[in-house]
Structure 1
Amino acid sequence: MACLLEKERTMDLDGARVLVAGATGVLGGALTAELAARGARPALAGRDPARLARAARDHPGAPAVLFDAYDPASCARAVHEANTLLGGLDAVVTAFGSVGFGRAAEVGDEVGEHLAAVNFLAPAAFFRAALTVMGPGSVIAAFTGVVARRPQPGMADYSASKAALSAWLAAVRREARTGGVRVLEVSPGHLDTGFAGRSVAGTAPPMPPGGDPGRVVRAVADALEADAELLRTAPDGTPVVERRAG
């Protein structure tokens, strides 16, 4: 375990070609801006054409590609389009998701299916495609969340969808190491992004104040450059990196 400020650089973001899936969201938009400020060449992926066009205006010259998280084939197409438009990819980051609340006996199967599709199957589709085009020294990175390791009552289906992605990343990490591709999981605590207020079902329970998303985004950019495999936050919100996550 080590502070991100003590990172050993393994990737230089200056000039790096990075696809950010979910670039129209709060975290994805902030991460795209941070990467661009460090000299990266971002490609933006989102599902809403109008929001994607607005995001693209903030990053002149950055490719913008559409995807639908309910359509895994569109996630793969987004990767291949970005790879063509940028002339290669050095990193692919998924920063999108959906949340739902409610007791397990009361949450409908359709909600569970939605959360699994958006939070697990769609990121996996992005990364399956990425692993076919990316070479040694590249990174795939996903936002999961603290619920992936500490499932919460009233959030069983949401917790399970994030835990499924975390488990998938852990297995793929071991597969990808032989090819020189690093797998980074970003698992912060509750952040002040308004995400909980956009649930597909139920109402969020009372929560403590969320952490600073900007602080986490800066730490993610550091972790992409460092030899990091897991980024989490300490109880006080401090980003912490683990260089070997399993």
Structure 2
Amino acid sequence: MLKDIKVALVTGGNRGIGFELVKQLALKGFKVILACRDPEKGHEAVQKLKESKLDVSFVEVDVNNQDSIHQAAITVNERYGRLDVLINNAGVYLEENKKLVAMDPSILERTMTTNFFGPYHCVRSFIPLMEKQGYGRIINVSSEYGAMSDMSYPGEGAYKLSKFALNGLTRLVASEVNGDIKINAVDPGWVSSDMGGPSAPRTPKQAAESILWLATIGPEGPNGEFFRDGKSIDW
């Protein structure tokens, strides 16, 4: 059990923005749990960070599997007895260049499973650890495509709907939590990663910086809002 050191968990932590988030949280003194579905890749990523003397561990989390998430919450509770920061970073972009109603329905279903239900089940499973101590910071990595205004334009339908739902989840959970627990969503911008591609203008480090400030906000900080580069933006 830990009293003075904060514990953070990042889903999809083995690469891209997630890996950078794990690294930066560890540099800030957090005990960080790198979560991803592939144990081999997860342990490889942890080993890289441990070579830099960073306090990082691994837990297997497949955000498409409720049992995996639930078991991870049990493991975190047994190992640390608390969770202070949860960053729902894992996500997919599976678009076909088709109208929403013309695409294979499985594309929408798989996208919603990972990008919406994954964070939902993570929040549901880990928030009891935060409620137990009356403190927690939850950050959902969203997208500008999740804004209501973007629903007026065609394209990226499955991805847009998944992030729109994630933003709604953020606001709804914010209205329900008690104690010093904050949940917010962030648009990290177009990031050079496996999902964003090599031509994207932002680095994972820049994206991580736009997210991490919400991990350490005080009790007067925002709750249920949507941010880009530290500034509140419209839903």
Query: Shorter-normalised TM-score: what interval?
Result: 0.7 to 0.9
Name the count of aligned residue pairs: 217
- Give the aligned partner of residue 139 of structure 1: 137
User: How far has the Cα of 1:208 moved from its partner?
Assistant: 7.8
RMSD value over aligned CA atoms? 2.4
| Aligned residue number for residue 81 of structure 2 | 87
Structure 1 residues 25, 79: closer, same or farther in 2, change over 3 A? farther
Shift, 1:72, TM fit = 1.6
Equivalence for 1:35:
25
| In structure 2, distance between residues paired with 1:26 and 1:209 | 12
Structure 2 Cα separation of the partners of residues 157 and 163 of structure 1: 10
Q: Does 1:77 align with 2:71?
A: yes
| Percentage of pairs with the same residue | 21
Q: For structure 2, which runs of at least 5 residues remain unmatched after alignment?
A: none
Answer yes or no: is 1:216 the counterpart of 2:207. Answer: yes
- 2:46 aligns with 56
* Structure 2 partner of 1:11: none
Q: Decide whether the 8 Å contact of 1:112 with 1:157 is kept in 2.
A: yes
Aligned partner of residue 174 in structure 1, secondary structure: helix
Return the alpha-carbon distance in structure 2 between the equivalents of residues 55 and 63 of structure 1. 10
Higher relative contact order (CA 8 A, sep 6+): 1
CA distance in 1, matches of 2:234, 2:7: 25
Counterpart check, 1:111 vs 2:107: yes
Structure 2 residue identity aligned to 1:18 = A
TM normalised by structure 2 equals 0.83
1:157 aligned residue: 158
SS in 1 for 2:40: helix
- Determine if contact 1:63/1:82 at 8 Å carries over to the other structure: no
Which amino acid in structure 2 is aligned with residue 90 of structure 1?
D
TM-score, normalised to structure 1, is 0.80
Q: Are 1:194 and 2:194 matched, yes or no? A: yes
What residue is the counterpart of 1:123 in the other structure? 119
Q: Which runs of 5+ in 1 are unaligned?
A: 1-13, 198-206, 234-238
CA distance in 1, matches of 2:190, 2:23: 21
- Tell me, what secondary structure is at the counterpart of 1:69? coil
- The alignment status of 1:232 with 2:227, answered yes or no, reads yes
Q: Deviations for 1:32-60, whole angstroms, at most 9, x for unmatched residues?
A: 00001111110111011111011121344
